[in-house]
Amino acid sequence: MNRNIFVDFLWGTFFVLLQAIVLNPLERVFQGYIPVIYPYFILFYPFYKNKYQFLIFSFLLGIGIDAFTGVWGTNAFASVALAYFRTLIFRSSTLTTSSQVYFSFQNLQWSQFITFIFTGILLHQLLVYLLENFSFANFGRMMIGVGISGVLSFAFIMILALIFKVKNKI
């Protein structure tokens, strides 16, 4: 087993446990809205690594969250979709051309960095809420949930990104 795969697995396990033990209980504090932090792993997974391995890690991350929440498949689907569209989200938020192979957060302006994170979080939360509700009867309430959870998640992920200085390292 490659050390990088092992380290990635440990990071994924860390985010699953952080979400399940620390953030999921905050649902009471935020009146039913749960901030999610595990998309941090997906958003900032290095672009140069194997994309199939990345999709598998994203699935395992999502299914791990599903195991703790009891909603099988919802977070797994949203995590894999975010992983699949991450490069597109990065390119559209940074106006990077498809001919550029190497991506770096160091070269981004703060507005591009924030747009990338916020768009990824909103996509993830939209998919989770759509799959959980699976009805457009309460569309307004669902969009409010996406917005509130998205803003809360964005705040937590930005704090984590600033702590780890992601913009300066990757």
Any idea where the domains of the chain sit in the sequence?
3-94+102-169
CB atoms within 10 A of CB 147: 15
What lies within 8 Å, CB to CB, of 116 at 6+ separation is: 43, 89, 90, 93, 94, 108
| Of 12-21, 31-40, 52-61, 70-79, the least confident | 31-40
CB atoms within 10 A of CB 119: 20
- More confident position, 11 or 102: 11
Q: What is the mean pLDDT of residues 48-61?
A: 92
User: What span, in angstroms and rounded, lies between the C-alpha atoms of 53 and 147?
Assistant: 31
What lies within 8 Å, CB to CB, of 84 at 6+ separation is: 55
For the whole model, what pTM was predicted? 0.85
pLDDT number for residue 144: 87
pLDDT, tens only, 23-44: 877 777 777 788 898 999 999 8
3-94+102-169 is a CATH 1.10.3470 domain: no
Nearest to 23 by CA among 38, 10, 8: 38
The yes-or-no verdict on residue 120 having pLDDT over 90 is: yes
pLDDT number for residue 168: 56
Percent of the chain with pLDDT over 70: 89
The first and second tokens of residue 29, run together, are: 């504090």
pLDDT number for residue 102: 61
pLDDT number for residue 1: 47
Q: What is the mean pLDDT of residues 117-140?
A: 87
Q: What is the mean pLDDT of residues 67-81?
A: 91
CB 75 within 8 A of CB 128: yes
- More confident position, 79 or 132: 79
Instruction: Please report which residue ranges of 70-138 form alpha helices under DSSP H.
Output: 74-94, 110-133
Confidence of residue 97 (pLDDT cuts 50, 70, 90): low
